[in-house]
Amino acid sequence: MKLNLLKSLIYSTLIFSIACNSPAPKATVTKMTEASYLHQIDSMEKVLYAHPEAGFNKDAAQKTVNIYTNVVRDYPDTKLAAEYLYKAGEISSSLNHSLEAIEYFKQVYEKYPDFDKAAYCLFLQAFIYDNQLHQLGQAEQMYREVIKKFPNEKIAKDAEACINNLGKTDEELIKEFEEKNKKAS
């Protein structure tokens, strides 16, 4: 009897030991479908742009940026990836998340060079360095790159104007504008 009890105890201990040392089953993480993301984007954009007179809903804006970047992460070849990153850059810039905005515009410019707003992505990086981060040297360098890479586009003229106004105060710009108007009259 003692032998059977001892065998049962050893057997139970062995089974318990094996069970405790077995790896737990891995949780399966399912990726959202692209259609689910599109539905979320549609919903969040409606919230984000529902009441422009009430101002910018920062929580909705950040959630929208997160959804844009998640869909691009999960579906980098989606035909809307460049547009989503561009919008993420615009919203991030509006939230004064300057470095994030620059990174989104940079990704669009580098990964999707055929995107119709690629030139603007380069310009907007310069603009953020200029107006939000006040890194005038970096801004000028990027404005010059816009001019070099897109010399025949309107954005090159905008970049040239920005270079001419780098570092000037509002008062200086107003004074220059008034002087030009006097000369033109």
| CB-facing half-sphere around the CA of 124: CA atoms within 13 A | 27
Which residue in this structure is represented by tokens 């009441």?
Answer: 51
Average pLDDT over residues 5-11: 42
Q: Which pTM value belongs to this model?
A: 0.77
156: how many CB neighbours lie within 10 A of its CB?
Answer: 18
- Residue 169: DSSP 8-state: -
Query: What span, in angstroms and rounded, lies between the C-alpha atoms of 143 and 158?
Result: 9
pLDDT number for residue 18: 40
Instruction: Note whether 119 and 150 are within 8 A (CB).
Output: yes
94 pLDDT exceeds 90? yes
What does the mean pLDDT of the chain come to?
A: 84
Helices (H), 22-117: 34-49, 58-74, 81-94, 98-111
The gap from C-alpha 57 to its chain's centroid, in whole angstroms, comes to 17
11 pLDDT exceeds 80? no
Question: What percentage of the chain exceeds 90 in pLDDT?
Answer: 56
- Which top CATH class is 34-114? mainly alpha
- Residue range 113-133, pLDDT digits in tens: 999 999 999 999 999 999 999
Domain boundaries, the chain: 34-114, 117-176
99 pLDDT exceeds 60? yes
pLDDT number for residue 182: 83
